Structure 1
Amino acid sequence: MHRAVGPVFRSVRKMATSGAEPQVLIQYVVLRKDLSQAPLSWPAGALVAQACHAATAALHVHREHPHTAAYLQELGRMRKVVLEASDETVLRELAQTLHQRDIDHVLWLEQPENVATCLALRPYPKEEVSQYLKKFRLFK
């Protein structure tokens, strides 16, 4: 497995030093902070899994978009920003706003409970989506 990844990283380094800087794309992930706090107190691993599910789903659902393709072609340059939403209501409100503004995203629903735990956007240039995310802090 490590051998298969090595050539990709070498290729990324070559592209990055070729003089033409590619557009910086960021995948934003918004995770519910209340899941980590009492009374819910989810373990860290469960929270990380929710973020991974949402990020992977957003990449898969929007895999045909040129930004997603470019993001995945440069594995060594991938950027993710993980933000926190205070609770499920705030997360669902963000999803609704993004939907109304035609911002591609996936709202991850944990099953079988159908509880919204995390939201991930497909990769975007920061300036295209930062206005919708500026009220959210980095996840701590």
Structure 2
Amino acid sequence: MAAPRPAAVAGLVQYVVLRGDLARPPLAWPLGAVVAQGCHAALAASHTHSEHPDTRAYLEMGGAMRTVVLEAPDEAALRALAETLNQHSIDHALWMEQPENMPTCLALRPYPKDQVHQHLKKFKLLK
């Protein structure tokens, strides 16, 4: 298989979708705990799909990697997104915090933005 073209590699992005309600009462998780959920999901998606050419090209980008962190308002929205991604055969990892077995974050493997953006456009950047 030929190496990806530089323009194609530059268009790769890994989307991470965190539950915004984790940081707000009544849950009120510390910022570090919320960030850790995003890290877990991103690593799980990258590891699970490590053999995909887009994942390999993305990881080889080093400091040029592009990650977009979005906010799902709550568990129901995160689960609905996971179902939509499953229906469209979009590779992702839904991170489940243990031992509570609580879905906290979802990350897609790296994709060209134009292949997945339509499924994520209703989510805003995490603030």
Indicate the residue corresponding to 2:118 in structure 1.
131
Q: How far apart, CA to CA, are the structure 2 residues paired with 1:54 and 1:76? A: 19
| SS of residue paired to 1:38 | coil
Structure 2: which 5+ runs fail to align?
Answer: none
Partner residue of 1:25 out of 12, 15, 38: 12
Structure 1: which 5+ runs fail to align?
Answer: 1-19
Indicate the residue corresponding to 2:84 in structure 1.
97
Partner residue of 2:37 out of 50, 54, 58: 50
How many residue pairs match? The answer is 121
Q: Give the alignment's Cα RMSD to 1 decimal.
A: 0.8
Partner residue of 1:67 out of 50, 54, 71: 54
1:21: how far off? 3.0
Q: How far apart, CA to CA, are the structure 2 residues paired with 1:101 and 1:123? A: 16
Larger Rg: 1
Indicate the residue corresponding to 2:23 in structure 1.
36
Q: Between the two proteins, what is the percent identity of the paired residues?
A: 64
TM-score (norm 2): 0.93
Partner residue of 2:93 out of 93, 96, 106: 106
After TM superposition, what 4+ stretches of structure 1 lie above 6 angstroms from structure 2? Answer: none
Equivalent residue letter for 2:40: H
TM-score (norm 1): 0.85
Q: How far apart, CA to CA, are the structure 1 residues paired with 2:86 and 2:7? A: 27
Post-superposition Cα deviations, 1:84-132, rounded to whole Å, max 9, x if no partner, equal 0000010000000000100000000000110000000000011000000
| Equivalence map 1:71-82=2 (5 Å) | 71-82=58-69
Q: How far apart, CA to CA, are the structure 1 residues paired with 2:57 and 2:42? A: 16
1:77: how far off? 1.2
